[in-house]
Structure 1
Amino acid sequence: MSEELEWKAPPGSWASSAARRRNMQAIRSRDTKPEWLIRRLVHAQGLRYRVAARPIPTLRRTADMVFGPTKVAVFIDGCYWHGCPEHYVPPRTNSGYWSEKVLRNVQRDRDTDQKLKENGWLVLRFWEHEPAENCAQQIAACVRSRRSDARQV
């Protein structure tokens, strides 16, 4: 008895096939390789931070790295999901859905930046393709600068 079962998307699913669903479920939302590399380099410089944390507890958005006392929030954005001007390539299948999704992500990113800045946070955003060493140096310099500014007040 070798009946082939037809795959059916779960109710409310956007997946066009079982393979696509598995692929999308495998995509990490945190602890990506670029995040991990940057975190490792920043940690090696003696700086400590929270990972995947909400800078503002009432704001339902998380930063990749949060330096609470100095109010620095770091985001390492994926080129596809956040619409990198250099590397974003619109999808060939279901392009309307995915293009709208990326557009909403970009709009949410700008809204997050604005809300954090209004609350005294410094927002640092890096693309996943940027050299991790450069990102880590910029992060460390900003955190140290804000620490020394706070001490002088």
Structure 2
Amino acid sequence: MSRQSSRDTAPEVAVRRILHAAGLRYRVNVPVPGMSRRTIDIVFPKAKIAVFMDGCFWHGCPQHATSPKANAEWWRAKLDKNMARDRETTEHLTAAGWTVLRYWEHAPPDEVAAAVQATVALKKRGRGHHEESAQS
């Protein structure tokens, strides 16, 4: 598990490149305010937008998640805990007025970037906030 990249994954970097090329500026791997040991992949602090790029295996993608055969019970508990932590983090940020966007690692980077850009533009125009996760 220690060899698994938890930051700067290929899908995350691809989305960041598109956003940066579009002129958007953001922060990366920012601690979740008020929650220890949790980070947000891409953050637009002034707009209070948090973007998460969730890995299919680690976060339980309904399309691509697999269950290891060896030590299956331990893995099921571990992965269930990850998904519960994701829900808790989303609820915490939403309650604090953040817009939370979650995407699976297999989502096309250009589609993810377009959705993020649209959300940032909407926030800049001051049209409220978009509370729900956007899992593609």
Q: Can you give the 5+ residue segments of structure 2 that lack an aligned partner in the other structure?
A: 128-136
Task: Please name the residue that 2:22 is paired with.
Answer: 45
Correspondence list, 1:91-102, <5 A? 91-102=68-79
Aligned with residue 84 of structure 2, among 107, 126, 139:
107
1:26 deviates by 1.5
**Structure 1 regions of 5+ residues with no counterpart?**
1-23
Q: Are 2:79 and 1:121 aligned?
A: no
Q: Which residue of 2 aligns with 1:30?
A: 7
Which residue of the other structure, out of 13, 32, 35, is the alignment partner of 1:59? 35
Structure 2 CA distance, aligned partners of 1:120 and 1:25? 33
Q: Which residue of 2 aligns with 1:5?
A: none
Measure how far apart 1:107 and its partner are. Answer: 0.3
Aligned residue number for residue 73 of structure 1: 50
Name the structure, 1 or 2, with higher relative contact order (CA <8 Å, separation 6+): 2
**How far apart are the structure 1 equivalents of 2:11 and 2:73?**
28
Matched residue of 1:85: which SS? coil
Of structures 1 and 2, the larger Rg is shown by: 1
Name segments (4+ residues, structure 1) moved above 6 Å. Answer: none
Given the alignment of the two structures, is residue 143 of structure 1 paired with residue 127 of structure 2, yes or no?
no
Native 8 Å contact 1:55 1:73 kept in 2: no
The answer as to whether partners of 1:55 and 1:68 remain within 8 angstroms in 2 is no
